[in-house]
Structures are given as structure tokens and as C-alpha cells.
Amino acid sequence: MTTAISDIPSMNDRLRVVAGLPEHDAQCLPGRFYTDPDYFRHEVETFLSREWHCLGRADEIPGPGDYFTGQLFDEPLLVVRGDDGAVRVLSNLCRHRGMPLAEGSGSTRRFVCSYHAWSYGRAGELVNAPRMRDKGVTRETCSLPSFPCEVWNGFIYANLDPEARPLAPRLGQLGDLLGHYRTGEMRIVRSFEEEWRTNWKCLVENFMEAYHLSVVHPETLHPYTPTGLSRKSMSDDSFTSYCANYPETAGSRGTGAPGLTEEERRRSTLFCLFPTQIASQAATLLVSFSIQPLAVDRIRVRWTMSTWGDELTQDELEDRIALWHEVNREDREKLERMQRTLASRHAPSGPLAPRDYEGTIWDFYRYLGRQVPPEETPLRAVSAY
């Protein structure tokens, strides 16, 4: 029987233990971390809603007035390129009575609310509010609030926390890992949005471990990135990564940026920018997933495919898109089935595979461990009685 009230402190004790294990003794987190709605709310309140999340690629909105919409937890977002060329992440509610302002994506001179025709410019400034002149409704009082936003290597990041410390200065090592690929110059091909019935951490862990590649993706990924050739790569407080190397027998996957080494051309470099961006960077292809947690067992996945210049033909790009849809189907099937069993009282905390195959999950747990408040004082144990 599970207890009626989730014991967050004791779950965090368990997380500290798991995150503190040495690498060769690494274990996976017990099932409850993936199925307990109270723990999910705790994650959202304590760190998920204060972290940087990737919303998409900057070249999805290349020109002034270009925009797309999204949602992070409770915040509807409007991501728009201003007349000054800047990308802004604005609150997507009309300042009148909270109606959603923009929908979908497109390009516009101004955003007009469908309820009472209040209108806003491309930087979120109030432009017109009919009959409201004597009501103190002005550009100063009623423009759209904005959230911290950074563009790094062509990715758009937003943070719901106005006090968030800047992201880019922390990404030096990840920038070095990706440097030769010229990630910022990759060009958007297409974007997709799906809802998967799985806990957000399950997709992070799945994407970042090579252990499953040959078993789950025998025809789609195994020919190019078999489990056996994968090697764990760099990690620090902000990210983890691994190199999915190609067999010598595999054909070329393209040339890409001129400065790439042969090793870089003969592999896909996979990374997780904690907590919710997972991506695969290869010479001619960049696939990036933004995980938006909706509930303990539900996520929205927004993913983009970008390419290097015109090296791949339109047919080749369509083939790669079809391939990734198939890869996603293969993973999603596994994750949605596993989500249904993780609530079992017998959900294991089993050993993780060696570092090259599941070491990135250990890195991810150490990141989660850093988000937990420090050990609580013994006084807490006394007050339980």
C-alpha cells in the first residue's frame, strides 16, 4: 500500500543517496519518482519552473513579426521577433481579462485580442484598447510582460524566473563540444509537436543512454549508431553527453561544417542540456527535443530538425524526417508501456549499465540531486512523532 500523503522529504533523502553513489555502483531511481503526482509538483515548484527551457530554433522566426506560441507549465508564451531583430518571450495573455492572445504560429504586424480587439505591437507594447483611454490603460500599464530569453547556438531558451542567472556563461564546455559543428548556423527544416504519456525524466534517460539503441532501434539507428560503439563524453553542472560513433562499414553521413574532424563527422554527438533539452548533433543534421512536462505521466514534446546548408537534398531530408518519426515511435512505445508499470510496489532501483552505455543517467541524477535542498536537520525526525 502506498501512503496517503507523499513523503517528499524521504523521497529526497533517497534521491540524495542515489545521486551520491559512485559511478560504478550507479542505480536507477525507484519508480515512485516517475509516478508520484505530489513529487512531480514538488519538482515543478522547486526547480523545473526556475530553469532554462529550450522553446525552439531562432530561425523558425527569422523576420520581424514572425512568431510561434507555446506553454511552459502554467505560462502561455508568445515567442516573437521584434522590429529591432530581438527575439522576445512574452506572456501570451491579453492584459484586459486574460484571454489568450496569439495562436499557433505566423507573422503579423500586431497582435489583436479576439475578445475586445485590444492590440499589441511586435515587442508586446500596447497599441490600442478601444474605449479605454480614461481607464489608465496605456502602453506603460498594459503592455505584455516578458520572460528572460536567450538565444544560444541558434536555440531559443526561456526562463519563467525573473531572477534567473544567465544561461550562456554556464555553457562553455557544451559550446566546446559542439563548436566544430557550427550548431548556430544549422538551418531549420521542420518542427513537430506531440504528446507522450510518460514522465519527463523517462524520456531524458531514454534519449541519453546508448544501452537501448541496438535493441529498440535495430533497423533505424543500429546500422549507424550501435550500442557497442557509443562512448560517454563530457559533462558538467549544466549538461551531459555521449558520442554515438558510426561503424567503419557505414557509409558517409555527409561533410557538414568545414572545421569538423573526421571523428566528429563519423558520429552523432548527443547531449542533454539540463533539465529538459535533449539533442543529437551530426555533421549535416541537428535534431533537438524540448520536453515540456504537463503532468507526472504526460509531456509535450516539441522537436525540430535542422540541417547544414543545402548539403542534403530534399528527398534525403524527407527520409531523415521519416526515420526520426520511426525512431520516436519505437521509443514512445517503450516509454508509454513502462509508465504503466512504474507505479508497482516492485518497481526496481536496479543497477545502471557501465558508463559508456548509461553513465549519462548517473550524471542526470547528480543534476537532480543538486536541485534538492540540503540535508534537513534531525529536528524534522523528532517532529514526526
Return residues touching another protein (CB under 8 A). 109-110, 112, 116-117, 119, 128, 130-131, 133
Do 381 and 7 touch, CB atoms closer than 8 A?
no
Convert 30-46 to b/e letters by CB count within 10 Å (16 or more is b).
bbbbbbbeebbebbbee
**Minimum gap (Å) between residue 60 Cβ and another protein:** 23
**Minimum gap (Å) between residue 82 Cβ and another protein:** 18
**Minimum gap (Å) between residue 100 Cβ and another protein:** 16
Nearer Cβ to another protein, position 117 or 215?
117
Residue 115: all three cell numbers together: 475578445
Q: 241 - beta bridge partners? A: 271
* First CA to last CA distance, the chain: 21
Write the DSSP string, 8-42: HHHHHHHHHHHHHS-GGG-BPPPTHHHH-HHHHHH
**Minimum gap (Å) between residue 89 Cβ and another protein:** 24
Which helix or strand (DSSP H or E) is residue 263 part of? helix 262-265
Nearer Cβ to another protein, position 131 or 346?
131
Identify which of 304, 300, 52 has the alpha carbon closest to the alpha carbon of residue 158.
Answer: 52
**Minimum gap (Å) between residue 117 Cβ and another protein:** 4
Nearer Cβ to another protein, position 119 or 214?
119
Nearer Cβ to another protein, position 109 or 165?
109
**Minimum gap (Å) between residue 104 Cβ and another protein:** 18
Nearer Cβ to another protein, position 65 or 254?
65
Nearer Cβ to another protein, position 133 or 380?
133
CA dihedral (368, 269, 322, 326) positive or negative: negative
CA dihedral 251, 222, 55, 8 (to 10 degrees): -160
